[in-house]
Amino acid sequence: MKIQPRIRNNMCLTAHPDGCREQVREQIAYVTSQPSIRGPKRILIVGASNGYGLAARIVSAFSCGAATAGVFLEKPGSARRTATVGWYNNLAFEQEAHDSGLVAFSVNGDSFSREIKEETIQRLRDEMGPVDCVLYSIAAPRRIDADTGEMYSSVVKPIGQRFLGKTVDIKTGALSDVVAESATEDEIQETVKVMGGEDWMDWIEALHNQNMLSRGAATLALSYVGPSITAPIYRDGTMGRAKQHLEATADSINRRFVDHDVRATISVNKALVTRASAVIPSVTLYISLLYAVMKRKGLHEGCIQQMYRLFRDYLYSANPKPLDAEGRIRLDDWEMREDVQHEVAALWQQIIDTSPRHVSEIDEFRSEFLRHHGFEMPGVDYDQEVEIT
Ligand SMILES: NC(=O)c1ccc[n+]([C@@H]2O[C@H](COP(=O)([O-])OP(=O)(O)OC[C@H]3O[C@@H](n4cnc5c(N)ncnc54)[C@H](O)[C@@H]3O)[C@@H](O)[C@H]2O)c1
């Protein structure tokens, strides 16, 4: 089958296996071109097939030489559909890791379920041993509660106010108005249930109870803050509530496992094009403008650069960079620089004032988004038939 990108509602419905492999190789090439890091020996990454989790797995394996266990939820291809991006990414990662003699195993299934936790822990026991680092990097639309079977959905909505904003269509660059009604109390609670810290705590507890968490292990989850222009729809909205819960969970883990010397930390990362971020209204426009400004200033980073910096300067540095007042790592430091935000805000205002038919800054976002799905990768012949399963 020849595979072309099919974008609908800012989601890409197809993925290209060869392009995904190239994209994984590009990330590996980046980390192997940098000085190696004395990092984790055995790491578990929950949410390891895409975005930040995949990048962290590549840094762990190819810069630190760690054995990596990855958990994710991805679909294989069928006769009519390509597999999901993460499926192809993972095939490529495992192939490259095994070719390099690195220990790596993956578990494809629902992170929130008891079965997947048990399967992962069993495989750790059989194939790797206790982990000294756990990275929690899930971005999920829903969760089935392992105890009750009840389903919870996460929503991106403002709280206590209606949100009127602008968003941009990735395919066409067309600007449109977006309206989001204030979330109900149930929607807030459901979003916290899915994207808050409960499942992170469940993983740490399960690993600890089964003696698969080394004494003194590090664990990390990822958060986002962002500027005032996206605050009504993000940080002050349902997602922000979930992130507050996730951040508070770091303290709960530190208190609960103090005897085991576990160190839980939050890393506030930069806004980046991933499958998760592309569907958040207004954030697409913000990221497009942010990319334009950060690239112009030579400050742009992708997932792999962010994760390399996280390991080198914070998690495994002999002399770690300072944390913020709330004890969080701030990898969004360059994004939040005053000069960067000042220029992004000016571009944003210009767009609000002039309402152009086409936002030119989306072109770079679209390219990155397509590359993220294995398209527009140099060296890949997209006219060739490929196996999609
Ligand atoms: N992208 C950004 O701009 C950004 C910025 C800062 C922080 N973050 C945070 O980083 C984390 C990862 O986000 P991302 O953008 O890399 O997301 P992503 O969509 O690229 O990857 C999400 C991962 O979660 C996995 N996943 C989803 N549901 C699952 C389930 N039920 N069971 C098992 N695995 C499941 C997917 O398979 C994938 O590996 C999130 O917490 C997000 O809020 C993202």
A 10 A CB-CB count for 141 gives 12
Distance CA 250, CA 263 (A): 8
Nearest protein CA to atom 5 of ligand 1, as residue: 271
Nearest protein CA to atom 31 of ligand 1, as residue: 110
Residue 389 has pLDDT above 80, yes or no: no
Distance 259 CA to ligand 1 centre (A): 30
Distance CA 199, CA 294 (A): 34
Residue 106 has pLDDT above 90, yes or no: yes
**pLDDT confidence of residue 74:** 98
Chain-wide mean pLDDT for the chain? 95
Active site residues: 234
Concatenating the DSSP letter of every residue in 77-146 gives --SSSPPPHHHHHHHHHHHHHHHTT--EEEEES-TTSHHHHHHHHHHHHHHT-SEEEEEE----SEEE-T
Distance CA 64, CA 132 (A): 13
Query: Which mutation among 20, 71, 72 tests ligand 1's pocket best, with the greatest number of atoms within 8 A of CB?
Result: 72
Ligand 1 first shell, C-beta below 6 A: 47-53, 71-74, 86, 110-112, 137-140, 222-224, 269, 271-272, 274-277
Distance 356 CA to ligand 1 centre (A): 32
pLDDT tens readout for residues 329-341: 999 999 999 999 9
Residue 371 has pLDDT above 90, yes or no: yes
Opening angle at CA 117, ends 24 and 388, nearest 5: 35
Percent of the chain with pLDDT over 90: 87
pLDDT tens readout for residues 184-233: 999 999 999 999 999 999 999 999 999 999 999 999 999 999 999 999 99
The ligand 1 atom at the shortest distance from the C-alpha of residue 143 is 31
Nearest protein CA to atom 4 of ligand 1, as residue: 271
pLDDT (mean) for 32-59: 98
**pLDDT confidence of residue 359:** 85
**pLDDT confidence of residue 388:** 80
Reduced 3-state DSSP string for 219-240: EEEEECCCCCCCCCCCCCCHHH
3.40.140.10, 3.50.50.60, 3.40.50.10860, 3.40.50.720: which CATH number matches 7-372? 3.40.50.720
Distance CA 164, CA 62 (A): 44
**pLDDT confidence of residue 224:** 97
Q: Per-residue confidence at 81, pLDDT binned at 50, 70, 90?
A: very high
Residue 360 has pLDDT above 90, yes or no: no
Distance CA 174, CA 182 (A): 25
End-to-end CA distance of the chain: 10
Distance CA 276, CA 291 (A): 17
**pLDDT confidence of residue 318:** 96
pLDDT tens readout for residues 14-25: 999 999 999 999
**pLDDT confidence of residue 358:** 83
The ligand 1 atom at the shortest distance from the C-alpha of residue 303 is 16
pLDDT tens readout for residues 131-156: 999 999 999 999 999 999 999 999 99
A 10 A CB-CB count for 312 gives 20
Query: Which mutation among 93, 135, 137 tests ligand 1's pocket best, with the greatest number of atoms within 8 A of CB?
Result: 137
Q: Which of 2-6, 98-102, 106-110 has the lowest mean pLDDT?
A: 2-6
